[in-house]
Amino acid sequence: MTLSSDRVHLSVPTRSDTAAITQGCQDPAVIRWTTVPTPYTDRDAQTFVDALVGPGWASDREYTWGVRRPGSTWLEGVVSFRTEHRDLGFWLAPTARGEGLMHAAVELVADWAFSRGAADVYWECYEGNVGSASVARASGFSFTGTGTARIPDRDGGPTRAWTGLRRADGLPASDLPWPAASFADRGQEGDASPTSRR
């Protein structure tokens, strides 16, 4: 299953993406804002592809795409949609940030979820993750508050999250203002949204 626009191409990650996934998961921002293993090795990338990506698609539990530039096979990041809570998770390599790739990817995945009958799509990031909030805001999500993250921190404990929702009918899900900090650093577009088992 692929999704494409003139800005981004999304396709299922495979073992041929091992080097790109491993490289992307060395980034300090990806490590800080997600629960990827650290240190991250080629074996972690292969386990991600074999134990999460394939079974996720087969079970209708989690749909994961590799984010690529049009015409390129190199994986620049990952975006996933989990069906249980209709939520998104993503990360983008630092060399691809600031070009709107993740914004375009999130829009494609949200529209795909709506086409499958989802009434809304949920997003969260650990509190303070300006890059992820910037992507969600630009992709039409409404800020819905700050609370305990659904995905625990790296040590399995509770942590705070910014949350958002995008409705299929296009109506705002909330009139809460986005945190002022989420407007501060648009150049870091697409750092990461918390995502487990990476």
The residue written with tokens 């749909």 in the block is: 63
What is 3-193's CATH topology? Answer: Aminopeptidase (3.40.630)
- At 90-140, the pLDDT tens digits run 999 999 999 999 999 999 999 999 999 999 999 999 999 999 999 999 999
CA distance 100 to 142: 19
DSSP codes of every residue in 98-122? TSSHHHHHHHHHHHHHHHTT-SEEE
CA distance 23 to 3: 23
- At 136-182, the pLDDT tens digits run 999 999 999 999 999 999 889 999 999 999 999 999 999 999 997 66
Half-sphere exposure of residue 28: CA atoms within 13 angstroms, side-chain side: 1
The domain segmentation of the chain, as residue ranges, is: 3-193
pTM of the model as a whole: 0.92
Give residue 184's pLDDT.
Answer: 55
Strand, helix or coil for residue 59: helix
